[in-house]
Amino acid sequence: MTETFLIVGGDAAGMSAASKAKRDDPDREVVVLERGEWVSYGACGLPYYVKGEIDDLEDLVAIPAERFQEERDIDLRTGHEAAAIDPEDQTVTVETDERTYTQSYDELLVATGARAIAPPIDGLDRDGVFTLQTMEAGRELKEYVDAQAGDTVGIIGGGYIGIELAEAFRGQNLDVELFEMRSHVLEPFGSEVAKTVESELRDNDVAVHTDTRVDRVAGDDRVRTVITPDGKFPVDAVLVAAGVQPRVELAESAGIDVGPTGALATDQYGRTNVESVYAAGDCAEIIHAVTGDPAHVPLALTANRAGRAVGATVAGEPTPVGEIAGTAVLKAFDLEVARTGLLEDERLREAGFDPVSVSITAASRAHYYPGGSEVEITLVGDADSGAVLGASMVGKEGVAKRIDTVAAAIQGDMSVTDLAYLDLSYAPPFGPTWDPVLTAAKVLGGKLS
């Protein structure tokens, strides 16, 4: 009898799992339930769609639904929402606009993703308040932007999405007021990088308000004002970019454990505590390479890799989902901003490390080659073991790929000395003889010795 691999969620983790399972075990029935109309799309591209650099929302779709259905023989059902899981009977209750039915499974993957956080701020239910977590949200925000001219948008949150949307709005000639309740934007990147990014934002006419809590947003028929302890700021729209939280309610109600991060707890193969049930993607925990502890880092590669591993395991080849270093990069106007591993002194000490850090500034190219600029690097190592723990970088060029060298060092359990001795490439148009990463490692090695 044909076994059924049922997947709840049709984005990165879900469709990667479906494709891998069907490829490795063509006789297996693979069913995907997706409550929306979009599958396998690049949500990371939404800020650039809003800015106008990407013309069509459809361009963000990696593989259209019909290709999964026709070319890969995957039973993909859009507009089908999983309402309940019954682990004992191994069934899922499914709701559509027309009916409710029960779908059985032999193995189940929960890939329900994450939702935008709605902070406890009065007035967020008013018209003109947006988030940017889904394709439909991206369409709505773009329609608003296209209809405006010279208006002001308030952004609540100075993380990835907040920074990227500040650039997108300025690119559409909108004024921007950005509110961040912490001391700096991009807090996980460290204060040195954050200060450089804040300067870049202000140079591009973004009004940056740090250490600023938004109490409420006010208006009549729609939002008109952002109210903080420092005063009232007139706006024509508000983007809430306060982060995301994993969608775990469906799984939790079925007895599937939630881990310490608030995401679904899994083992090295993505298995939950419930037999035959897996979890992957933005709803699930994964082990951090620095601490060895569960982490929730909702990034695209993490979701795709974990989903693919679960698909291979279900098809008969047990495959670990792997560890992550939390490597991330974003564009902030003319800057590349990146990080990997852990930088926060308190968090590292809680994990048992004795962190030591250095911050350096180096040239992105050979000093005599035209067009170069400065790269700022903060590198963190452990005083006891000498291990590389994390890094952050900012600069106008060469940052987005240099961070990968440190990420590889972390996941390869390399020491700071090992990093300093890497045989990295050199040519004047691309870097100095001593790459900035090597220089940072040399300086940090001196402090650790």
Instruction: Tell me the residue type at 247.
Output: R
Long-range contacts, stretch 263-267, CB < 8 angstroms, 24+ apart: 263/294, 263/296, 264/110, 265/294, 266/321
Residue span(s) of the chain under CATH 3.30.390.30 come to 334-448
C-alpha dihedral sign at 368, 430, 363, 184: positive
Cα 404 to Cα 165, 183, 412, 443, distances in angstroms: 25, 27, 12, 19
CATH topology of domain 334-448: Enolase-like; domain 1 (3.30.390)
CA distance 80 to 180: 37
pLDDT digits 0-9 by tens, 319-377: 999 999 999 999 999 999 999 999 999 999 999 999 999 999 999 999 999 999 999 99
Give the residue numbers annotated as catalytic, written as ranges: 44
CB 130 within 8 A of CB 36: no
Walk along the chain (449 residues) and give the pLDDT tens digit of each residue: 689 999 999 999 999 999 999 999 999 999 999 999 989 888 899 999 999 999 999 999 988 888 898 889 999 999 999 999 999 999 999 999 999 999 999 999 999 999 999 999 999 999 999 999 899 999 999 999 888 766 999 999 999 999 999 999 999 999 999 999 999 999 999 999 999 999 999 999 999 999 999 999 999 888 999 999 999 999 999 999 999 999 999 999 999 999 999 999 999 999 999 999 999 999 999 999 999 999 999 999 999 999 999 999 999 999 999 999 999 999 999 999 999 999 999 999 999 999 999 999 999 999 999 999 999 999 999 999 999 999 999 999 999 999 999 999 999 999 999 999 999 999 999 999 999 999 999 999 999 98
Return left, alpha or beta for 381; rule: phi > 0 is left, psi -120 to 50 is alpha, else beta.
beta
pLDDT of res. 71: 86
Under 8 Å CB-to-CB from 15, ≥6 apart: which residues? 32, 39, 40, 63, 68, 307
Q: Give the architecture-level CATH label for domain 129-240.
A: 3-Layer(bba) Sandwich (3.50)
What values do phi and psi take at 48, rounded to 5? -80, -25
CA distance 285 to 441: 31
Superfamily of structural domain 4-35+79-114+244-314: FAD/NAD(P)-binding domain (3.50.50.60)
Under 8 Å CB-to-CB from 267, ≥6 apart: which residues? none
Residue span(s) of the chain under CATH 3.50.50.60 come to 4-35+79-114+244-314, 129-240
pLDDT of res. 70: 85
CA distance 32 to 46: 24
DSSP tag of 332: E
